[in-house]
Copies of this chain bind each other. A is one copy, B any other.
């Protein structure tokens, strides 16, 4: 899974790098509110597949059906999930109230909540925050960071990214913010990602482009395998670049590629900030019988509590890697598998000294006391670990990202009601 970065320029400004976007955010203690304004945008979203859904998910699913959006209002500190009728009413009140403050139709305002489940929304705290944020919306890079900070829960820092590409000689921008550090699972865990673009793209193709990117990014990160009730990835396109990115029903490749890049960048920021994480893990699979087999295998290794513990312990315990591939459900043959470990992918740069084979075409090169095992131990001591697995069966490939399992993960989730 490699992204062509040739045509992509990383720029500052986060979600506000896109013209016509104004944001603001305030975080006070555990509660925060962010507002994102991008008037008259085409929009679509991808939501949690958890069967328990929060009130704002119900609201946003409904209003986004017609593909038009002008604003998002999001709060942290309370998920407004499993809050019954009162939760629905609270969500509607938040949207109505924001609608009046921003002078935007209420059916063009999406809403999200993140935080603890099964607690009544503290409206006496949230409403004044909405009032204050609505008064200070602007187009600056600081405003993007404020919004990214306002939606944080156990995140330790705000997460933003913006890119510019050139299509037909004209610049097109995509910007995003996101939050999420626990409950990160296959299929998106307590994750909010808001993305804006100035491209011209209608909501039908937004749905396709966003789903493509989400499947390669947010759905490929694992912190703990728990999936949240509130996950949302949302893309708003306001057309201000005057550049069409769909031609005869085909999404421009550079645009899709840039959206993939941005989503992967945000997803990797999330997993790097995984609850308690001290190390970052990339698992590349190639040679799988199919792409879906490659996804199974890569996620299984990135999710294995035993291998996550081994990363924390800086132990190149490749037995736990093959075991996780073995129970993943993907087709495999242990007699032809190759496994390497390093700080760089062997698949991309096979000739560097930044990785080492532990198993090559089924032959074990890392019995105890071997040189390869010692080299692998050195790589395990660094902060970024890359595991490459070639199943040598066919051409299915995938990449998943994860982090180590640490004392701090247990501490954060054992001692704190999130």
A interface SS class: loop
Output the least CB separation between A309 and chain B (Å): 3
- Residue pair A319, B367 in contact (C-beta under 8 Å): no
Q: Give the distance in Å from the alpha carbon of A224 to the alpha carbon of B320 in the complex.
A: 13
Q: 12 new A-B pairs (CB below 8 Å) besides A51-B326, A84-B364, A306-B418?
A: A52-B322, A52-B325, A52-B334, A53-B334, A118-B366, A120-B367, A224-B305, A229-B326, A306-B413, A309-B414, A312-B414, A315-B417
Is A65 at the interface (CB under 8 A from chain B)? no
- Residue pair A322, B82 in contact (C-beta under 8 Å): yes
- Residue pair B407, A363 in contact (C-beta under 8 Å): no
Partner of A414, one of B315, B319, B364: B315
Output the least CB separation between A198 and chain B (Å): 35
Q: Give the distance in Å from the alpha carbon of A409 to the alpha carbon of B364 in the complex.
A: 28
Give the interface size bracket for A toward B.
35 or more
What are 27 of the A-B contact pairs (CB < 8 Å)? A50-B323, A50-B327, A51-B326, A51-B327, A51-B331, A52-B322, A52-B325, A52-B326, A53-B334, A81-B319, A82-B322, A82-B364, A84-B362, A117-B320, A118-B367, A119-B368, A182-B306, A185-B327, A305-B413, A309-B412, A310-B413, A313-B413, A313-B415, A313-B416, A315-B417, A405-B410, A406-B410
User: Which of A75-89 touch B at CB < 8 Å?
Assistant: 79, 81-84
Q: Which residue of B lies closest to A329 (CB)?
A: B51
Is A113 at the interface (CB under 8 A from chain B)? no
Complex interface bits, A80-107 against B, C-beta within 8 A gives 1, otherwise 0: 0111100000000000000000000000
